[in-house]
Structure 1
Amino acid sequence: MVETAHYTYDFGGGWLCLDFNNTLDQDKEGGDVEHLHTYADLVEWAAQSGMISPGKARLLTREAETHPSQAATTLADAIALRRLIYRVFSAVADGHEPESADSSALNAALGASVVWLRIVRAPSDNDNDDSAFEWGWADGGSRLDQILWPIVWSAAQLLVSERLHQVRECGSENCRWIFMDTSRNHSRRWCSMESCGNRAKQRRHYHRIKASDLDTN
């Protein structure tokens, strides 16, 4: 994929932490294509996900410009969290337990995040409905790391979810995207049929043609 100033992120993973994992792309040769070059990119991803409001995005962008060193540290923490999420859920997709060190690292990140977790009133279209509550977050003000809290919480929620068995890793050898397989017979192989699935189909066709040419000769 080609980088642009306003990159449109993919949110087809089916779970927030998996969508975050999928901000690291791969080209046809298996080389990494990074979409989070700056803290501003991280803010843009969070805004596109609906995780933060446009106003919060502007606030965090200004704060990052004022404190570039802190912004760089938070971006590095985000990349480390993304690697951790990949290791944990790649293991799950393969039917294995995550490494104990990775479980410990995720628990440490969770401990630092949940202190900001709150029970809040759920939005409702019914003015008479005053009984609905949901998980929410305390206002992190201008803290640059607040973007990471919901991602960590999302990973923890998925690990204890009854839907954990749906976690899959793309079947392409050049892709590390992870997604929730919600297909009827749980047979989805590719992150996207339009990209990895189509390339695999083209490779199979190429090898069939080559094999046919060899048989003919």
Structure 2
Amino acid sequence: MPLTFRSGSGRLCLDFLRTLRLRGQDGAAEELDSPEALAAWVAQLGPYPDDAVVPVPSDAVLRQARDVRESVHAVLAAARSGSDSPEADRALLNKAAGEAPPIPVLGQDLALAYTAPDPVGAVLAQIAREALVLATSSELSRVRECAGPQCGAWFLDTSRPGSRRWCSMDTCGNQSKKTTWRTKHSPA
């Protein structure tokens, strides 16, 4: 059965943060537990065509990807709180952002596809660039933490009133509404 990763946060860098579920809680779960898992994440959420083959990276690249993810979290958390981001995390993201991103290629049918000599490294560059832009943009004020008690994922609230509460209405929002309904309708 192929791995399926969560998406829909509104930014690839925020989707990448979701690969460490329940961050900071006792039940934290690492989704990028192997180089194969990282390749599967890039294949699913990267900009490459569905039939693209993403080579399995080395263990060193897996460690680098996790370091990029943690630096994205540290920089965005600092930016959200108005504090200075750690120098080491900024340096790591600046270095990753300087690598070659996925290359857009326009096909004869005017369909846009992406390619890269190093698909994983290119996506890490894209994630780092996106995180740096998000940390310095007005959109940062719309980054929210899911209200689901067993979630905590960050997402970009693009709703008009800016009042979105859950990372996904289909999962966390639905669970919350079911719990509320059961509480109101359970026998006393």
TM-score, normalising length from structure 2? 0.75
Gaps of 5+ in 1: 65-70, 128-135
Q: Percent identity?
A: 29
SS of corresponding position for 1:163: helix
SS of corresponding position for 2:47: coil
The aligned amino acid for 1:114 is G
Aligned-partner Cα distance in 2 for 1:50–1:82: 15
| Structure 2 residue corresponding to 1:178, chosen from 123, 134, 154 | 154
Please tell me whether Structure 1 or Structure 2 has the larger radius of gyration of its CA atoms: 1
1:87 aligned partner: 74
Matching of residues 1-217 of structure 1 within 5 Å = 5-26=1-22, 31-53=27-49, 54-55=51-52, 57=54, 60-61=55-56, 64=57, 71-92=58-79, 95-101=80-86, 104-116=88-100, 123=106, 139=116, 141-142=117-118, 145-205=121-181, 207-208=183-184, 213=188
Deviations 1:113-171 (A, max 9, x none): 315369x77748899xxxxxxxx99x5x3586444211111111222333222211112
Aligned-partner Cα distance in 2 for 1:109–1:78: 11
SS of corresponding position for 1:100: coil
TM-score, normalising length from structure 1? 0.67
Aligned-partner Cα distance in 2 for 1:82–1:14: 16
Larger helix share, 1 or 2 = 1
Gaps of 5+ in 2: none
Aligned-partner Cα distance in 1 for 2:75–2:96: 18
| Aligned residues: CA RMSD | 3.4
Aligned-partner Cα distance in 1 for 2:2–2:132: 30
Mapped contact 1:90–1:169 kept (Cα < 8 A): no
The aligned amino acid for 2:136 is V
Aligned-partner Cα distance in 1 for 2:126–2:185: 48
Cα distance change on mapping 1:207 and 1:75 into 2, 3 Å: same
How far apart are 1:89 and its partner, in Å? 3.0
Task: Give the number of equivalent residue pairs.
Answer: 182
